[in-house]
Structure 1
Amino acid sequence: MITLHGFAASNYYNIVKHALLYKGIPFQEDLLYAGSDDLLTVSPVGKVPAITMPDGFNLSESNVICDFLEETYPEKPLYPTDAAERATVRQIMKIAELYFELPSRRLIPYVFSGTQAPNAVKEEVRQVLGRGIIAMNRLCQFSPWIAGEQFTMADIYVHHVNTIVNAFGSTQLEWDVLAEVDGMKEWNKAMSKTDIAKSVQADSQANMPEFMQHVKALIQAANAK
């Protein structure tokens, strides 16, 4: 059985977990937080998520894991058979990561510390998010799924990216970023109502108090140095 290493409060962890559940692949979860010595034994840089296959093969990085799962377990495919359509799915995922998720992550330290990000940081984040909004408006179809008629990895990936955009971007910037992409809020709401998404979100919320205690302990340790 596959072992999924990481913690449920992580959106990257939940991308892989969602894919595993959608494909019906048996797996077990191993609670590990980023940077732990145990995680370093299965992830080269100690990042979440990582998986261990039944034969002992370890793999990290969410998009790499998802591609590996698709190739290893082709049942219930999450990528189109057409090469151009498959590339479009990956393009949506990459743009969501670079222009939605990563800039929003710059605001995490301020959210966790209960402070407001400096205006210069907010403006930089706004500019990058703005580029993402333009690109996503051009690429996303929402007919009914993000890349067209087929449910794909992009639906899973962007839905969990949006948890970061909503939690950190919107609160710090007072900006409903998803509303800027025509059809995205309605699609995101529909995604959140699927059985798998509800299950993943419930696990994420249950893990959040312990995760926040972990973050608090890290901050205290850093301040003590």
Structure 2
Amino acid sequence: MMTLHGFAASNYYNLVKHVLLHKELPFEENLIYGGSDELMAISPAGKIPVVTTAEGLHISESSVICDFIEETYPDSPLYPVNATERAVVRQIMKIAELYFELPSRRLIPYALSGTAAPETVKAEVRQVLNRGITALSRLCQFSPWIAGEQFTMADIYVYYVNTIVSAFGSSQLDWDILAEVPGMKDWNASMSQSAIAQSVEADRLANMPEFLQKVKAQFQAANAE
């Protein structure tokens, strides 16, 4: 049985968890936060999530974990059989990560500290997000799924990328970013109604108070130095 290490307030942790639940794979969860010696012992870069396989191998980086799960457990496939179609799915995932999630993540420290990001940071984030909006508008089909008729890894991946975009990008920039990509808001709402997504969201909300307390403690410790 695999073990999933991390915490439920993390969108990338929840991405991997959704994949495991989709494939109906048995797994255990181990609550662990960044900066701990326990995490450094199993994650080369000290990042979550991490999975430990039944054989004791530790694997980090969410996209790598997802591909490992897909290749090891091919039932309920999340990638198309055709290589070209697989490339399109992976392209959507990579663009969402680089031009949606990562720029929005720059705003997290300001949002969690209750301050507004500097205008220079906002301008830089908007510029990158606009590239993502243009690219995703060209690539996404939402007919009914993000890459077409088949539910794929891109649906799960982008859905959890969007949690960061919605929670931090929109609040700091006063910008409904998902609405800029035709069809994305309706698709995102549909994704949120699945039983798996709702279960994952319930766990996220339950973990959030403890996570915020950890963040507050780290912030206070940094300011005390």
Q: State the TM-score, normalized to the length of structure 2.
A: 0.99
User: Which residue does the alignment assign to 2:99?
Assistant: 99
Shift of residue 53, structure 1, vs aligned partner: 0.6
Kindly report which structure 2 residues correspond to 1:13-32, keeping only aligned pairs within 5 A, or say none.
13-32=13-32
SS in 1 for 2:80: coil
For residues 72-109 of structure 1, the C-alpha deviation after alignment (integer angstroms, 9 at most, x for no partner) is: 00000000000000000000000000000000000001
Q: Aligned partners of 2:181, 2:52: CA distance in 1, in Å?
A: 37
- AA in 2 matched with 1:187: W
User: How big is the alpha-carbon RMSD for the aligned residues of Structure 1 and Structure 2?
Assistant: 0.5
Q: Which moved more, 1:33-42 or 1:132-141?
A: 33-42
User: Which residue does the alignment assign to 1:70?
Assistant: 70
SS in 1 for 2:189: helix
Q: Aligned partners of 2:72, 2:36: CA distance in 1, in Å?
A: 28
Q: Aligned partners of 1:30, 1:134: CA distance in 2, in Å?
A: 38
Identity %: 72
SS in 1 for 2:222: helix
User: Which residue does the alignment assign to 2:40?
Assistant: 40
Equivalenced residues, count: 225
User: Which residue does the alignment assign to 1:81?
Assistant: 81
Kindly report which structure 2 residues correspond to 1:1-225, keeping only aligned pairs within 5 A, or say none.
1-225=1-225
Q: Aligned partners of 1:218, 1:7: CA distance in 2, in Å?
A: 16
- AA in 2 matched with 1:114: G
Shift of residue 177, structure 1, vs aligned partner: 0.3
For residues 44-84 of structure 1, the C-alpha deviation after alignment (integer angstroms, 9 at most, x for no partner) is: 11101000011101100000000000000000000000000
- AA in 2 matched with 1:86: R
Q: Runs in 1 of length 4+ with deviation above 3 angstroms?
A: none
- AA in 2 matched with 1:110: Y
- AA in 2 matched with 1:153: M
Shift of residue 126, structure 1, vs aligned partner: 0.4
Q: State the TM-score, normalized to the length of structure 1.
A: 0.99
- AA in 1 matched with 2:70: E
SS in 2 for 1:68: helix
Q: Aligned partners of 1:188, 1:45: CA distance in 2, in Å?
A: 31
SS in 2 for 1:74: coil
Shift of residue 224, structure 1, vs aligned partner: 1.2
Q: Aligned partners of 2:117, 2:40: CA distance in 1, in Å?
A: 31
- AA in 1 matched with 2:81: T
Consecutive unaligned residues of structure 2, counting only runs of 5 or more, are: none
Q: Aligned partners of 2:195, 2:188: CA distance in 1, in Å?
A: 14
Q: Aligned partners of 1:113, 1:41: CA distance in 2, in Å?
A: 29
Shift of residue 40, structure 1, vs aligned partner: 1.1
SS in 2 for 1:29: strand
- AA in 2 matched with 1:222: A
SS in 1 for 2:51: strand
Q: Aligned partners of 1:113, 1:217: CA distance in 2, in Å?
A: 12
Q: Which moved more, 1:190-199 or 1:34-43?
A: 34-43
Shift of residue 35, structure 1, vs aligned partner: 1.8
